[in-house]
Amino acid sequence: MTKHFALGIFEDEDVLLHAVENVRAAGVKIHDVFSPYPVHGIDDALGIERSRLPIAAFFFGMTGLAFALWMQIYMLGFDWPMIIGGKPHIALPAFVPVAFELTVFFTCHGMAITFFTITGLYPRFKVPVMDVRATDDKFVMAIELDETSSQFPRLTQLLRENGASEVNQKEMTHN
């Protein structure tokens, strides 16, 4: 499916932040903004809702903790009990470091995989990029157009008025 976008290119993050507010105030829905680095306050300006990633992270962490405790208790307590340092087979203080590490391991891997999956940033052969300069020194605001792109002249004027250095039209083929 092919989608059409108007791309406003900005040189400066402050100009971009003002533009985002003004464009939204003018009743235009912004598809997304691409920047070389995280811009403070852009989430609020774009009206993006809070991510639910921390909730997922909590459950990944709990999974890791449960797995680590089960693994150690099963291995050292039941499957192959050994006496280590004269301690009981199930010696909980000794299990804490491994439980801690696996909690962190599960949390960060789970979060990274979840994040890449839901944002579509996972590795693939053909990467959809709005404008490659967004990875260097430009800030790109993408606004979705309808089939006929009839609003493009009006949007160009709006973006220009709000400090865009250039406005381009782009077709993107999404899977």
Partner 1 sequence: MATLTHQESATAEQLVVTDGARKIFLTIIIAGVVILILGILASVMGWGAAEHGEAAGHAGVAAHGAAHEEGGPIWLKRLIISLWHSNLFFLGVSTVGTVFMAINYVAYSGWSVLLKRIAEALSAWVIPGGVIMLIVFLIGRHDIFHWTHEGIMDKGSPNYDAIIAGKSGFLNLPFYVIRMVSYLVIWGVFSWKLRQLSLQEDLHGGTYWFHKSITASALFLVLYAVTSSMSAWDWVMSVDTHWFSTMFGWYVFASWWVSGIAAIALTAIFLKQAGYLRALSSNHLHDLGKLMFGFSIFWTYVWFCQFMLIWYANLPEEAVYFNQRLGGFEGRYTFMFFFNIAINFVFPFLGLMTRDAKRQMIIMKIVAIAILCGHWSDFYLMLMPGTMKGENGFLIEIGVAAIFLGAFLILFTRRLASASLVPVNHPFLDESIHHTT
Q: Which residues bind partner 1 (CB under 8 A)?
A: 14, 17-18, 21, 40-41, 44-45, 50, 54, 58, 85-87, 93-94, 96-97
Q: Shortest Cβ distance from residue 160 to partner 1 (Å)? A: 19
What angle (nearest 5°) sits at the alpha carbon of residue 45, between those of residues 11 and 25? 95
In 3D space, the residue among 38, 1, 77, 4 whose CA is nearest the CA of residue 17 turns out to be 38
Specify the residue, 14 or 32, whose C-beta has the smaller distance to partner 1. 14
DSSP 132: G
Q: Are 113 and 13 in contact (CB under 8 A)?
A: no
Number of neighbouring beta carbons within 10 Å of residue 111: 16
Q: Shortest Cβ distance from residue 166 to partner 1 (Å)? A: 23
Q: Shortest Cβ distance from residue 66 to partner 1 (Å)? A: 17
Specify the residue, 20 or 130, whose C-beta has the smaller distance to partner 1. 20
